[in-house]
Amino acid sequence: MSFIAYYAFHSFINQIRKMLKTWVLVFILACGLIGGLIGFGVGMLSDISDDMEPVPEPGAEWYSEDYGPSAEPPGSEVLIPPSEDPALPGDGEEGSSGVRDIFELIYGGVILAAMLLSILMAEKGNGGRFLPADVSLLFASPLRPQTVLFFRLLMQLGVMLYMTVYMLINFGNIAENMGIGLPARIMIMLGWFFSMFFGKLLETYIYLASADSPKTKRYADGALYALILVPAAAWFTWWKANGGSPLKAAFSFFNAPLSRVVPIWGWIKGMGMYAAEGRMSMSLLCLVATVAGAALFTRHIWNMNADFYEEAMAKSEELAQAMRDIEEKKSAFGSAKKKKIKSDIERDGMNRGLGASVFFWKSVLNRKRFSKLLLITKTSGFYLAVAAGVSFFMRSVMESSSCVPAAFALGAMVFFRALGNPLEEDTKIDLTALIPEYAWKKLSYSALGGALSCLLDLLPAIAAAALISGGNASDIKLLLICVPLILSVDLYAGSCGSFIALSTPANAGTTVKQLVQIMFIYFGLLPDVGVIAVAAVFGRTALGIFAASLLNLMLTMIFISLSGRLLDPRPGRPVYTDENCPGDPAEAKGSFDRIGRALFIMLAISTFLQLRAASQLPAGFGAEHPWLVWLVQMAPLYLVAIPVGLLIMKKLPASDGEMTRKLSLPAWLGLIPIGFFLMYSGNIIGLILSALFSYFFGGGAVSAADMNPLTDLFTDTQFLPRTLVVVVLAPVIEELLFRKALIRRTRRYGEKTAVVFSAVCFGLFHGNLPQFCYASLLGLLLGAVYIKTDRIVYTIGLHMCVNFMGGVIAPYIMTLTLESGEEGIYPAPVLAFFSLIVTLFFLGAAFLAQYSQRLSFGFAPSQLRPRAARRCAWLNTGMIMFVALSAAVIVLALL
Amino acid sequence: MLEVRHVTKRYGKTLAVDDVSFTLDPGSVTVLLGPNGAGKSTIMKSIIGFLKFDGEILVGGEENKTPQARRIIGYVPEIPALYPNLTVSEHMEFLARAYRLTDYSARKEALLARFELSEHSRKFGDELSKGMQQKLNLCLGLLPEPQVILLDEPMIGLDPHAIKELRSTIEELRVQGRTLLVSTHIIDSVDMLWDRTVIMQGGKVKANVLREELDAQNKSLEQLFFEVTEGLKPEDEAADKTEKTGEGAEV
């Protein structure tokens, strides 16, 4: 079998090598690092808290109860007494066998699940997925078909292996708690491996058997249901017959010694459990039995008549086509399932929808075709069964009227169903690319259609849950609030899956893709859990659920936007030749030099004058004369420095773009969230950097409100002057200077250069680190808008909005928060503001991802090549002076 | 060496291959010709054992689907198929292990060098151009030193150097006593190479002719092909040409 090992090893290594070339692996590594750090930190914290207080280990508790002070410390090999007589349930203490019972139950469940999963996979025709290379290389080789099949199935273990590693890591803890020694741990892990192995054998067997006769597949179906329902029904009967709590009944039923006689399942379980109980001879006996069973089964499969190559070849053609589709960025995880075409469905065409919305109406039409009364589909039936079952269980067994478990179960099912790439069907087809709309629109409509379908599937289930659980009004209200949450999870998982599918390289194995997707989705849903938990603590669960739904929606938008970016064709990269770069570097350098000097002088004058003023004015001056103090602050800058600077720059020739462009109102409004996103991101980056700086170099942390040396003169009475300056005066003047003046004089050397240059100057001018960060980022947006539209009004408006938000609303909310924070209740405006910020942040990110892709700059009259442009712009006396001065101001502000 | 006996293959109601029989001798190159849909691919895939069929195929006396038979058959597919996550060199190693070959390193290096794949030996399967993929499939097919070699449209997509190497390889194998079956559309590519030709049409064998026989009749392979498949006699062809050019043409 060395060819299997060879392939597994090399294929895995090569997949990693390939992934290293893309961002995905970096992301995984980063997450791993963060996770490791968090774990390490938490570990340290818990160590510290452990040192402070001797907390008994959970296992130790029942130790001392049963064995008294002479108990051996946990972790060493200890004999665990066999469980109490299983024939006598009843409400005994969970004490001595509690942990072990639970473990055995779960372990048994896991083993069964592994085998059920294999049957399910076989039933889904998973075994037939051979690669084209398998056909030409392995089918033609002297290997037996069974061997080839087993090989391919083993390679599909994929995610199970990662789970194994994860379990291995965590198993140590559990074993510690159970106080079982090394031999037992080895046996338990061996049991796990045997479960997987048997699972694959089962899959092989079912595939081979059904290749010969298609009826076998249906038997596999039946076996699956039987393996779930029969034990469940048996347990139910046992429980009803013997009374006591359902959990106790489960223990006595599934963990009975007799259960270890059950072929394969019981033997595997016995291997581990006897070892845990210290009965190594029995454990070894179970091991021998398992190995014998495996050997017999293998031998039987070996001797089967296996002639499935013909069917496998056809399937592999499909797979090859799917791989080709992936190459062309049209598809994701593999061939889409073929829906059986029923002959009785109506085939009347669809006559709704225009543009991208056809994808929505297509979903509606599909729904009409493949469902009865719009509500009844296979999925909705399944959901209904689950919801009814859970609600019934809750009501009769747990005697609770809560509908939340049902909602949770439904949410989990929707989640797993959305794994994979539900938008694939639409992104896969060439027609999609032909429709002349932006990809994100098409994806959005497609996702909406999916969500509608999901909602319709959920309705019967929700109704059932509400009726069966017998809950009161508040229970039902909570249930209803869960519906948007479930839908938002569906949207999120779908859009996230689509993005991952489109962005991971085509030949990264399915395993890796699945892993990445699981990570993304869990990371995305973790905040949900956090939000809901926090809200629950404060007694506002419903609000938490709502907030979580909103969060998912935001993330959905981002992923759709990113996916759209991947699907839409990008403008080509400009090619710089001598022809289209006629600029003269010397002349450019001269221009930038002059601008640099102008900026330097402006900054010098304004800083100097402001410092003088601050030192001259007495304390308390600001409170008494609000207008005056603002005048004093602004005058040096606006009345002296800037006019001087403009004069210096006036000499330079200014140019406008070739055409001005009007932005429609919706388009302009769409820029506002982008501005916010850039502003908040920049702020965060700046704060982190300042914190780092002060950590390493000392000095006070900087708050974003620290704008200049006159801060201590600010008070509430200065609201009106402050507002006027911040919201009206400053934007106008800054725009006129940094955009109109600066860009018009530099755009002839290259539009991109001009935008970046003006943005950085804008940032530097603010004189402190957080503002540098966010002003630069904002400056990029404003510069781009100005250069593309040649209308300063747009940028002034944007700047005003941003300043209004940050300079007026934010401080107001801040004061509200501070006032009410003591009482622990946050008033509505605070919450509303918070939601607004979060919404705008995510909206901005989504829009940015979209617009930035379509942004392209033309060639300017004196265009310079990029590197030359950068050199001219920054490496000249004036700019160097300016940068040095502003850097000094920033550093001083940090200290 | 290779005996095909009354093989019939149906796909549903369509008869892809209808009672086909022929025998190939060791040390010979047989060219399988036929128009589209003649059943060439089907018969090849049946020989290598991918398909279920009625009839019998014996390779070296053994039934074709047994491991013993598969050990001595080599197959080079029409459309190259490689593993995206293995390199060129790893493909060869992998196949060697699947076939349980011993002492294959020298042969592997020689094959890769011959078809100019040595400098690409660390490229992944999906990084190769189509021509290189085909060459690799060729190397893989030849690595186990098979006695019977099936080549499905081997020349398509190969560059002139590779075609030259392939032809000389075929010649060498023939001299070594192996049995080769080459299926192709392009008659010119196999001229000079073949010992026997089997011409199929509509799933049936229309002609099974040795080279000596054809030479004796003074016909070219192309002429034979059109005669068999379209019922064109050489005289008809000449008449055809006369019609087209409008002038008297030499026969």
Nearest Cβ partner of A140 from B75, B93, B125?
B75
What pLDDT band is residue A286 in, cutting at 50, 70 and 90?
confident
Per-residue pLDDT tens over the stretch A3-53: 888 888 888 888 777 776 666 666 666 667 767 766 666 666 666 656 554
**Is the CB of A144 inside 8 Å of chain B's CB atoms?**
yes
Tell which wins on pLDDT, A656 or A511. Answer: A656
Distance CA A354, CA A292 (A): 65
Distance CA A780, CA A678 (A): 9
A584, A519 contact by CB (below 8 A): no
**pLDDT value at position A97?**
58
Q: Same domain for A544 and A649?
A: no
What domain range is A117 assigned to?
A: 95-318
Chain B residues within 8 A of A140 when measuring between CB atoms: 48-50, 70, 73-75
What pLDDT band is residue A62 in, cutting at 50, 70 and 90?
very low
Chain B residues within 8 A of A14 when measuring between CB atoms: 85-87, 90, 124
Q: Is residue A824 part of a domain?
A: no
Q: Please name the residues between 188 and 247 in chain B that touch chain A, using a CB distance below 8 Å.
A: none
What is the rounded average pLDDT of the residues B178-182? 93
**pLDDT value at position A80?**
35
- β-pairing, B179-183 with B28-33? parallel
Q: Same domain for A398 and A288?
A: no
**pLDDT value at position A37?**
67
Span of A292-301, A332-341, A624-633, B183-192 with lowest mean pLDDT: A332-341
Nearest Cβ partner of B98 from A3, A309, A509?
A3
**pLDDT value at position A25?**
61
Q: Same domain for A558 and A595?
A: no
User: How many structural domains does chain A have?
Assistant: 3
Residue A285 has pLDDT above 80, yes or no: yes
Residue B137 has pLDDT above 70, yes or no: yes
Nearest Cβ partner of B90 from A10, A18, A323?
A10
Per-residue pLDDT tens over the stretch A611-648: 777 777 766 665 666 677 677 777 777 777 788 888 88
Chain A residues within 8 A of B82 when measuring between CB atoms: 133
**Is the CB of B82 inside 8 Å of chain A's CB atoms?**
yes
**pLDDT value at position B108?**
93
Q: Is residue A236 part of a domain?
A: yes
What pLDDT band is residue B22 in, cutting at 50, 70 and 90?
very high
Span of A149-158, B170-179, B227-236 with lowest mean pLDDT: B227-236
**pLDDT value at position A824?**
55
Residue A508 has pLDDT above 60, yes or no: no
Tell which wins on pLDDT, A219 or B86. Answer: B86
The DSSP bridge partners found for residue B33 are B199
Q: Do A136 and B97 touch (CB under 8 A)?
A: no
**Is the CB of A826 inside 8 Å of chain B's CB atoms?**
no
Q: Is residue A577 part of a domain?
A: no
| Structural domains of chain B, ranges and CATH numbers in brackets | 2-215 (3.40.50.300), 217-251 (no CATH)
Distance CA A692, CA A695 (A): 5
The complex's ipTM? 0.85
End-to-end CA distance of chain B: 40
The DSSP annotation for A608-656 comes to HHHHHHHHHSPTTHHHH-HHHHHHHHHIIIIIIIHHHHHHHHHTS----
Residue A708, classed as helix, strand or coil, is coil
Q: Do A310 and B125 touch (CB under 8 A)?
A: no
Q: Same domain for A413 and A539?
A: yes
What pLDDT band is residue A730 in, cutting at 50, 70 and 90?
confident
Residue B200 has pLDDT above 50, yes or no: yes
Nearest Cβ partner of A133 from B45, B71, B81?
B81
Q: Which of A556, A545, A525, A246 is nearest to A407 (CA)?
A: A545
Residue A253 has pLDDT above 80, yes or no: no
- Start-end of H helices in A179-277: 182-212, 215-242, 246-254, 265-276
**pLDDT value at position B35?**
87
Chain B residues within 8 A of A15 when measuring between CB atoms: 85
Tell which of A10, A17, A151, A326 to mutate to test the B interface (max B CBs under 10 Å): A10
Chain A residues within 8 A of B78 when measuring between CB atoms: none
Per-residue pLDDT tens over the stretch A166-202: 677 777 777 776 677 777 778 888 888 888 888 888 8
Report the chain B residue with the minimal C-alpha distance to residue A15: B85
The DSSP bridge partners found for residue A394 are none
Taking only Cα atoms into account, the Rg of chain B, rounded to an integer number of angstroms, comes to: 20
What pLDDT band is residue A68 in, cutting at 50, 70 and 90?
very low
What is the rounded average pLDDT of the residues A862-884? 86
Residue A422 has pLDDT above 50, yes or no: yes
What's the gap in Å between the CA of A135 and the closest CA on chain B?
A: 8
Q: Give the amino acid at A488.
A: S
Residue A129 has pLDDT above 80, yes or no: no
Q: Which of B183, B184, B175, B99 is nearest to B142 (CA)?
A: B99
Element (H, E) at B136: helix B130-142
Nearest Cβ partner of A136 from B70, B73, B75?
B75
Q: Same domain for A186 and A132?
A: yes
Q: Please name the residues between 61 and 80 in chain B that touch chain A, using a CB distance below 8 Å.
A: 65, 67-68, 70-71, 73-75, 77, 79
Q: Same domain for A397 and A515?
A: yes
**pLDDT value at position A347?**
53
Q: Same domain for A134 and A187?
A: yes
**pLDDT value at position A624?**
65
Span of A147-151, A465-469, B110-114 with lowest mean pLDDT: A465-469
What is the rounded average pLDDT of the residues A317-342? 54
Mean per-residue pLDDT over chain A, rounded:
75
What pLDDT band is residue A757 in, cutting at 50, 70 and 90?
very high
Tell which wins on pLDDT, A601 or A254. Answer: A601
Q: Same domain for A596 and A486?
A: no
**pLDDT value at position B89?**
92
Q: Same domain for A398 and A496?
A: yes
**Is the CB of A21 inside 8 Å of chain B's CB atoms?**
no
Q: Same domain for A117 and A181?
A: yes
Describe the crossing of helices A182-212 and A280-303 by its angle, rounded to 10 degrees: 20
Element (H, E) at A167: helix A159-178
What is the rounded average pLDDT of the residues A394-408? 77
**Is the CB of B98 inside 8 Å of chain A's CB atoms?**
yes
The listed range with the strongest mean pLDDT (A150-159, A182-191, A516-525, A586-595) is A586-595
**pLDDT value at position A49?**
59
**pLDDT value at position A781?**
93
Span of A29-43, A331-345, A577-591 with lowest mean pLDDT: A331-345
Q: Is residue A713 part of a domain?
A: no
Q: Please name the residues between 500 and 519 in chain A that touch chain B, using a CB distance below 8 Å.
A: 507, 509
**pLDDT value at position A281?**
86
What pLDDT band is residue B8 in, cutting at 50, 70 and 90?
very high
Q: Is residue A572 part of a domain?
A: no
**Is the CB of B52 inside 8 Å of chain A's CB atoms?**
yes
**pLDDT value at position A424?**
58
Q: Is residue A719 part of a domain?
A: no
Residue B181 has pLDDT above 80, yes or no: yes
Q: Is residue A258 part of a domain?
A: yes
Report the chain A residue with the minimal C-alpha distance to residue B144: A141
**Is the CB of A455 inside 8 Å of chain B's CB atoms?**
no
**pLDDT value at position A777?**
93
Tell which wins on pLDDT, A510 or B119. Answer: B119
Span of A55-69, A487-501, A591-605 with lowest mean pLDDT: A55-69
Q: Which of A212, A265, A228, A224 is nearest to A123 (CA)?
A: A224
The listed range with the strongest mean pLDDT (A43-47, A100-104, B141-145) is B141-145
Q: Same domain for A253 and A393?
A: no
Report the chain B residue with the minimal C-alpha distance to residue A312: B50
**Is the CB of B14 inside 8 Å of chain A's CB atoms?**
no
What pLDDT band is residue B107 in, cutting at 50, 70 and 90?
very high
Q: Do A139 and B137 touch (CB under 8 A)?
A: no
Q: Same domain for A258 and A375?
A: no
Tell which wins on pLDDT, B191 or A868. Answer: A868
Strands (E), chain B: 2-11, 14-24, 28-33, 54-59, 62-63, 73-76, 148-152, 179-183, 196-201, 204-210
Q: Is residue A878 part of a domain?
A: yes
Report the chain B residue with the minimal C-alpha distance to residue A508: B85
Longest dimension (CA), chain A: 101
**pLDDT value at position B180?**
93
In this prediction, what percent of chain B has a pLDDT beyond 90?
42
Per-residue pLDDT tens over the stretch A531-575: 888 777 777 778 888 888 888 888 888 888 888 877 776 777 777
Nearest Cβ partner of A137 from B52, B68, B95?
B95
**pLDDT value at position A71?**
35
Chain B residues within 8 A of A132 when measuring between CB atoms: 79, 81
Chain B residues within 8 A of A138 when measuring between CB atoms: 98
Mean per-residue pLDDT over chain B, rounded:
86
Q: Do A307 and B124 touch (CB under 8 A)?
A: no
